[in-house]
């Protein structure tokens, strides 16, 4: 082996190849580490993000679960940088995400159909085949079926197609209820200038249940206004008032809320009710858009009723997936 010498002929003192590599692993990847810490803070303190102009708080909460996809990306970057600092920092958002949503990934469904199976579906007023959609929904055999976004053209199609299975039904405006059990006292709920909500009493073998079906106002994400939710939020407040005034102890509220149960703006409605999906579902139960579901904006909420299981049904001709729940009365 040839020894290295310096210009004076003495052996050169060169540092080992890996000298300082331990310190280097902690110094590298600071940007990745900072990003991971920021991500953890945003997820942990998401309710502190204000709903100022553009409603960033509500927008964040609508898609909050998807921030978890950043964790494996940051982990890969930490590995590429061979950064111990970044690797440790990535654990923070991973722990926060699991604390927020880890329980959601568990299958909380119990066996059996319960006493009442409910299906709710925004059928889309531009549905190219409402007859097929009606048959698909009837084939899932719920005792109570709630439909939103009916139109003057499509409502009669659903009424004819479902008449043989559901002897009781009411349609008011763009929403309707179909049931194998008697329905009575159906009346519109004033949440918008036109009828997009309905309340009825469902007479089950175990007693009456108040049923609400609602389609809250649509939201838009626009460069000029951000997450525009004013109409939806106002409709949610009116629906919450109606539900709070309900005299029956057992209540089922279903429909297209155009928002998730995590959205703070919908808390007036969701705070007094239980989400069947959260209590007895398997996974997130995303329902929109049907082609690649990103959020659960279709809800089945209950009070005085125990969810047994909750799930989504296969895609129909709508841009939403139907949502279902088995309830114990």
Q: 40-76, pLDDT tens digit by residue?
A: 999 999 999 999 889 999 999 999 999 999 999 999 9
Q: How far apart are CA 141 and CA 137, in angstroms?
A: 7
Q: Which residues contact 33 (CB under 8 A, 6 or more apart)?
A: 78, 83, 85, 86, 88, 89, 90
The share of the chain scoring above pLDDT 70, in percent, equals: 92
With a cut of 90, say whether residue 297 has pLDDT above it: yes
With a cut of 60, say whether residue 310 has pLDDT above it: yes
Mean pLDDT along residues 5-23: 52
Q: Give me the chain's average pLDDT, please.
A: 93
User: How much is the pLDDT for 4?
Assistant: 47
Of the two residues 100 and 18, the one the predictor is more confident about is 100
User: How sure is the predictor about 278, in pLDDT bands with cuts at 50, 70 and 90?
Assistant: very high
Tokens in use for 87?
């690797």
24-28, 229-233, 302-306: which has the minimum mean pLDDT?
Answer: 24-28
User: How sure is the predictor about 293, in pLDDT bands with cuts at 50, 70 and 90?
Assistant: very high
User: How much is the pLDDT for 2?
Assistant: 45
Q: How far apart are CA 204 and CA 146, in angstroms?
A: 16
With a cut of 60, say whether residue 260 has pLDDT above it: yes
Question: Would you call the peptide bond into 289 cis, given omega within 30 degrees of 0 as the criterion?
Answer: yes
User: How much is the pLDDT for 223?
Assistant: 80
CA 63 to chain centre: 8
State phi, psi for 246 to the nearest 5 degrees: -65, 135
User: How much is the pLDDT for 17?
Assistant: 44
With a cut of 90, say whether residue 26 has pLDDT above it: no
With a cut of 80, say whether residue 1 has pLDDT above it: no
143-147, 150-154, 224-228, 290-294: which has the minimum mean pLDDT?
Answer: 224-228
Output the pTM of the full model. Answer: 0.90
- Give the pLDDT confidence of 101-140 residue by residue, as tens digits: 999 999 999 988 899 999 999 999 999 999 999 999 999 9
């Amino acid at each position: 082996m040839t020894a290295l010498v310096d210009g004076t002929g003495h052996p050169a003192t060169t540092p080992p190849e890996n000298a300082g590599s331990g310190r280097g692993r902690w110094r590298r990847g600071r940007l990745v580490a900072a990003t991971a810490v920021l991500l953890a803070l945003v997820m942990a303190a998401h309710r502190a993000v204000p709903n100022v102009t553009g409603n960033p708080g509500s927008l964040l909460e609508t898609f909050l679960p998807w921030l978890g996809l950043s964790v494996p990306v940051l982990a890969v970057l930490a590995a590429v940088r061979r950064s111990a600092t970044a690797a440790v920092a990535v654990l923070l958002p991973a722990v926060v995400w699991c604390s927020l949503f880890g329980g959601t990934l568990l299958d909380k469904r119990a066996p059996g159909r319960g006493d009442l199976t409910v299906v709710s579906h925004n059928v889309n007023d531009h549905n190219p085949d409402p007859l097929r959609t009606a048959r698909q929904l009837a084939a899932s055999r719920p005792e109570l079926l709630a439909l939103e976004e009916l139109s003057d053209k499509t409502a009669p199609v659903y009424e004819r197609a479902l008449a043989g299975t559901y002897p009781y039904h009411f349609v008011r405006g763009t929403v309707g209820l179909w049931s194998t059990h008697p329905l009575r006292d159906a009346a519109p709920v004033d949440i918008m200038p036109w009828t997009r909500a309905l309340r009825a009493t469902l007479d089950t073998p175990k007693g009456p249940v108040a049923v609400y079906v609602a389609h809250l106002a649509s939201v838009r994400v626009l460069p000029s206004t951000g997450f525009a939710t004013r109409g939806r939020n106002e409709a949610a407040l009116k629906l919450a008032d109606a539900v709070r005034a309900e005299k029956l102890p057992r209540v089922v509220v279903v429909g297209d809320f155009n928002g998730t149960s995590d959205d703070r703006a919908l808390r007036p409605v969701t705070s007094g009710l239980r989400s069947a999906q959260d209590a007895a579902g398997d996974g997130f139960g995303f329902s929109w858009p049907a082609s690649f579901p990103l959020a659960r904006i279709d809800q089945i909420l209950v009070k005085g009723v125990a969810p047994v299981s909750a799930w989504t049904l296969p895609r129909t001709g709508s841009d939403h997936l139907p949502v279902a729940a088995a309830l114990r009365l």
